Amino acid sequence: MKRFLIMFAVVFSVLALAACGKKEYAYDGKFTAFKADLNYGAPQLTWVEVTVEKGKVTKFYIDALQTKDGVWNAKTKKELKEEYGMKEVSEIGKEWYEQAEVIEAFFLSDGPDKLKLDKDGYIDGLAGATVIGSTYKELALDALDNAKKGIYTAFLADLNYGAPQLTWVNVTYEGKKVKSFYIDALQTKDGVWNAKTKKELKEEYGMKAVSEIGKEWYEQAEVIEAFFLSDGPDKLKLDKDGYIDGLAGATVIGTTYKNLAIKALGYKK
C-alpha torsion angle, residues 208, 192, 142, 150 (rounded to 10): 30
Beta bridge partners of 71: 68
Do residue 206 and residue 139 come from a single domain? Answer: no
* Residue 72 scores a pLDDT above 50: yes
CATH number at residue 181: 3.90.1010.20
Do residue 96 and residue 154 come from a single domain? Answer: no
Do residue 214 and residue 239 come from a single domain? Answer: yes
| Number of structural domains the chain divides into | 2
Do residue 32 and residue 99 come from a single domain? Answer: yes
- The average pLDDT across 77-97 equals 97
**Which pLDDT value is given to residue 5?**
43
CA dist list (Å): 259 to 34, 35, 196, 239: 18, 21, 24, 15
Do residue 207 and residue 258 come from a single domain? Answer: yes
142 is a domain residue = yes
Please write the tens of the pLDDT for every residue from 168-220.
Answer: 999 999 999 999 999 999 999 999 999 999 999 999 999 999 999 999 999 99
- The average pLDDT across 102-125 equals 98
**Which pLDDT value is given to residue 1?**
52
Sheet containing strand 151-160, strands side by side: 151-160, 163-174, 177-189, 192-193
18 is a domain residue = no
Choose one of 149, 174, 207: the last residue of a domain.
149
Do residue 110 and residue 213 come from a single domain? Answer: no
End-to-end CA distance of the chain: 46
138 is a domain residue = yes
**Which pLDDT value is given to residue 204?**
98
Please write the tens of the pLDDT for every residue from 5-50.
Answer: 444 444 444 444 444 456 789 999 999 999 999 999 999 999 999 9
264: exposed, middle or buried (Cβ count in 10 Å: 0-12, 13-18, 19+): buried
* Residue 141 scores a pLDDT above 50: yes
pTM: predicted TM-score of the whole model, two decimal places: 0.91
Choose one of 107, 127, 149: the last residue of a domain.
149
**Which pLDDT value is given to residue 21?**
54
Going by their DSSP bridges, the two strands 42-53 and 56-68 should be labelled as antiparallel
8 is a domain residue = no
**Which pLDDT value is given to residue 23?**
74
- CA 11 to CA 105: how far, in whole Å? 36
- CA 44 to CA 76: how far, in whole Å? 10
9 is a domain residue = no
- The average pLDDT across 42-70 equals 98
7 is a domain residue = no
Q: What is the mean pLDDT of the chain?
A: 93
Q: For residue 28, what are the domain limits? A: 24-149
Beta bridge partners of 173: 178
* Residue 231 scores a pLDDT above 90: yes
- The average pLDDT across 90-118 equals 98
57 is a domain residue = yes
3 is a domain residue = no
Do residue 142 and residue 72 come from a single domain? Answer: yes
* Residue 143 scores a pLDDT above 70: yes
Choose one of 149, 172, 188: the last residue of a domain.
149
